[in-house]
């Protein structure tokens, strides 16, 4: 098993998102996931019966529940904090905004660089390649909208990747990240905080 223990030694992404957006634990107790939001899924959650061209490279965070069971959406403009301390090594385009690649100052047992990626965002003011971010520091904001017809709406895509030495983290793009060769993708679900998984049937009405 690949070593990503550095990422597990601290607050969950949900806890950091709450802090960054002025929410209390009672306001956001768990993420709500459609099957198509999960790591490795081939399904889409924004179109009925659609399929992804490749397995999902991370996890999509869009909806959450409060302590009373009420449902809320992660809106465009929501602050996106860094899960752990690191350096921004890439700001690359994606179909809803930009993806921030943060490299952490640890190596896997295989010598691979450990990166977290925050996609469908807009960089915070002053954040660029070379910027050092602290744990919990706001690095970006959820992009307001995507191109007309994209259907997904505002959400945060979160990826954990191990990048071998022969690949330059500063030159990564989504084609390389999604490729089964080279980059090793890790299921980020244990890092995002409590999750409520919903069935396809139970999901009906959530996108309205």
In tens, the pLDDT along 141-200 reads 999 875 554 567 899 999 999 998 888 888 889 999 988 778 999 999 999 999 999 887
Lowest mean pLDDT, pick from 16-20, 129-133, 143-147, 190-194: 143-147
**CA–CA dist 105, 85 (Å, integer):** 8
DSSP 89-153: EEEEE-SSSEEEEEEEEEE-TTSPEEEEEEEEEEEPTT--TT-EE-TT-EEEEE-S--STT----
Does residue 93 surpass a pLDDT of 80? yes
Residue 112 or 148, more confident: 112
Q: Could you read off the pLDDT of 55-65 as tens digits, one per residue? A: 999 999 999 99
Does this model's pTM top 0.85? My answer is yes
Domains in the chain, start-ordered, CATH in brackets? 5-197 (2.70.70.10)
**Residue given tokens 């990747």 in the structure block:** 161
pLDDT of residue 2: 63
pLDDT for 94-106, tens place per residue?
A: 989 999 999 998 7
Range 112-121 average pLDDT: 94
pLDDT at 49 over 70: no
pLDDT at 206 > cutoff 90: no
Q: Is the dihedral of CA 19, 23, 24, 29 positive or negative?
A: negative
Would you state the pLDDT for residue 3? 63
Do residues 118 and 100 lie in contact, with contact meaning Cβ atoms separated by under 8 Å? yes
Task: Give phi and psi for 169, each to the nearest 5.
Answer: -55, -30
pLDDT at 191: 95
The Cα 80–Cα 86 span in angstroms is 14
């Amino acid at each position: 098993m690949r070593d990503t223990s550095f990422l597990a030694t601290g607050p969950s992404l949900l806890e950091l998102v709450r802090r960054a957006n002025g929410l209390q634990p009672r306001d956001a107790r768990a993420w709500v996931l459609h099957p198509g939001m999960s790591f490795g899924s081939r399904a889409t959650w924004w179109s009925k019966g659609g399929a992804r061209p490749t397995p999902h490279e991370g996890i999509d965070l869009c909806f959450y529940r409060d302590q009373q069971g009420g449902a809320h959406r992660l809106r465009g403009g929501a602050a996106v904090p860094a899960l752990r301390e690191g350096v921004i090594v890439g700001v690359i385009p994606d179909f809803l905004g930009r993806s921030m690649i943060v490299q952490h100052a640890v190596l896997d047992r295989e010598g691979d660089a450990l990166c977290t990626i925050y996609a469908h965002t807009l960089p915070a003011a002053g954040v660029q390649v070379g910027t050092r971010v602290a744990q919990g520091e706001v690095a970006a904001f959820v992009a307001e909208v995507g191109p007309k017809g994209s259907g997904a709406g505002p959400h945060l895509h979160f990826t954990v990747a191990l990048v071998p030495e022969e690949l330059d983290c500063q030159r990564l793009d989504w084609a390389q990240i999604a490729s089964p060769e080279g980059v090793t993708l890790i299921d980020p679900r244990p890092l995002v905080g409590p999750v409520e998984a919903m069935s396809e049937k139970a999901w009906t009405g959530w996108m309205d």
